[in-house]
Chain A
Amino acid sequence: MSELLELRGVGKRFPGVVALDDVDFTVRAGEIHALLGENGAGKSTLIKVLTGVYPADEGEFRLGGASIRPGSPRAAEELGISTVYQEVNLVPSLSVAENITLGRQPGRAGLLNWRAIRRRARAALARLELDCDVDAELGALSVAHQQMVAIARALDTRARLLILDEPTASLDEHEVAELFKIMRQLRADGLGIVFVTHFLDQVYAVTDRLTVLRNGARVGEFATAGLPRLELVGRMLGREVSAAEFAAQGAASPADHAAPPVLATHGLGRRGAVAPFDLSLRGGEVVGLGGLLGSGRTETARLLFGLDRADSGTISVHGAPCRIDSPREAVRLGLAFCSEDRKAEGLLPNLSVRENLLIAQQGRRGALRALTRAEQEQLCAHYIAALQIKTPDPETPVKNLSGGNQQKVLLARWLATQPAVIILDEPTRGIDVGAKQEIEQLIAGLRADGLAVLFISSEIDEVVRNCSRVLVLRERRLTGEIADGDLTADHLMHLMAGTHE
């Protein structure tokens, strides 16, 4: 098989971040090639560089042996590189035929040749063996069919390389199978296909080879069949060996199992988010929620905190059954949730450190029982000292702090509410190593204070280090639990990858 696409030494920097560092990437004609990696690994940057959305800072691009340098998505399309994005980016109010030919409609002098438009659309759909009315309004079709139309549109430009960026995220099992059928067919036609997905089962079901990225660098290229699942997961996550010195310090002292759970769920679930699960958290324990990206970790947290409504099951707090249908209710019951998306769901960027710090507690007290200025300043001074928050002044807008200090402000915000349960979703993401360690020490301190902590992280070592027990999620289902002595990184990875004995 010939090399269809060859990238050599591709680099891309954004202010303060190296998104791609000397990445090689090769796709052959007639193969399905998976591009894998956790969030922030550089997958989408690589695709955007390849399709001309961003210019690359350095590197060599070859397509079919000829050197190329796509300057825009349009230029990339003309070279034969077509992309189907995760969200269908077509026009729902136009017909299928219009969507397939949009921007390159056959016609003359500004007049459209409708017959040619339909003929071309039918031909594109026929190639996918798709039976679909070309005059139907796109918005009326199922998401899966819209996805197929998007592929048909991509193929209409006589693509040589097709990039599918998480095309299966919103498809059900049957629709995925249908998509795979089309992918295999196109492979047989000699197309090169780049397939980005988070579902490992799908990687093994349909791809020939795969490339793993981590932190903007290429980890390696492998034949799919020759790479055991566990090894793949290990390569995606990367193991921090240097962290061994403070390993297991957090895993000590399992909680008192006789104590009643602070938070317990029974059959709690939400269709399309996470299958019904049972969970119980006791005071003084740190429970991990492990799983790959897209396994339902955040969805679980959102259910517990009332951000999404559960459609089955019950929750009880301190043994009393309750309904949590808003974060406000959750906070009232003594829950706290540090979201993984600091910027969108945590920070009030233009407000001061002081205001960010006290907002949750003030919200719990209500507007009328305002904290006095003296109380506020005392609270701030306490947490700024306790968490070693580096800020020039409590009145500094929180947006001016570094990521690690912003994270500490958010932690302080929740600690100030004196919660019984705190859910930490990726609390160490995007912060430097020093702050990371401080936050881990803090978590140990919370456990010692008798809080129940639910700890979500994609870094396996971090989970093993901090948790006394880990619940494992795979493909939106709680699939196992590891406690105490069994809690090792290897064992956890087995469960996350779904290869346990």
Chain B
Amino acid sequence: MEKDLHIVGFRIGNETYGVRIGSVREIVRVPEITSVPSAPDLIEGVINLRGKIIPVMDLRKRFGQTEIISDKKNRILVVELENKLIGLIVNAASEVLKIPPSEVDSPGSVFAEGESSYVTGVGKLKGRLIILLDIAKLLQHPEYKRLEEAAEPVVTAK
């Protein structure tokens, strides 16, 4: 029998997403975030993670949430990308889910092309659908680059 997939589940809006437990370093409460001038829009700023300064991206914005409501359940998933840490803000995260591989469907034609190639599959657990993500692909996404360029400022003349 195949081993269950261990997934860190987190919520953004009404959806539950999941990433492989191996790609998540830790989950922390949202501390004070220092915003960085003229950083890309998605980058909320930087935080102090026990003496390390790491950038934080708002995954809620990344997934098109327009109204960002911050509450005490918000968490930061700290993931490692090419030896660098980056934090991702999500609505809530706590559970570690075990999904049997047989319960994971391929992303299907909806996701297969373009934008959403970072979706690696859709898992089913007790009637819930969990969208499985590839963090590395998510963060390498060209959209992210485009935003960087958009961040080019114009000095407003007063």
Do A and B associate with each other? no
